[in-house]
Amino acid sequence: MPLLAEDEKEKEEAEEAPPAISYYQVKPSLIANLASGGKYIRCDVQLMTSDDLFLEELNTHGPAIRHALLLLLSEQDGRDIKTSTGKEGLRKKALSTIGDLMQELSGKNELKALFFTTFLVQ
């Protein structure tokens, strides 16, 4: 009977374990002219998911993801995205844009978050 108790304990621990997190890095760095003219943005983006199959979908649709992000970045005003509030707004908009795109292309959206790991406006 003690063996059964150990099996139950292991099963409970496995159920309580947080899902494995994976990241998809949009490569190479994104560089786009800003709508405000004369300025550009350079940034690196990481997409977080807890679904390994969805990670493969992100890889498959990498060019479409990159294109959508470049279009979104080129619509931005440099003054707005220099503030932390502006960056957070852009992050949320980018997450929504990529989530909608993945829903359209793969039939699901398993994105958990989007992170800017480099962010430069000049």
Q: Which residues of 53-67 are buried (b: 16+ CB within 10 A; e: fewer)?
A: ebbebbeebeeebee
20-121 CATH fold: Tetrahydropterin Synthase; Chain A (3.30.479)
Domain ranges of the chain: 20-121
**DSSP structural state of residue 16:** H
* Mean of pLDDT values over 54-67: 98
- Residue, of 58 and 6, whose pLDDT is higher: 58
pLDDT digits (tens, 9 = 90+) for 30-43: 999 999 888 999 99
CA distance 112 to 35: 29
Residues contacting residue 49 through CB under 8 Å, at least 6 positions apart: 21, 22, 23, 24, 55, 58, 110, 111, 112
Confidence of residue 2 (pLDDT cuts 50, 70, 90): low
CA distance 17 to 92: 28
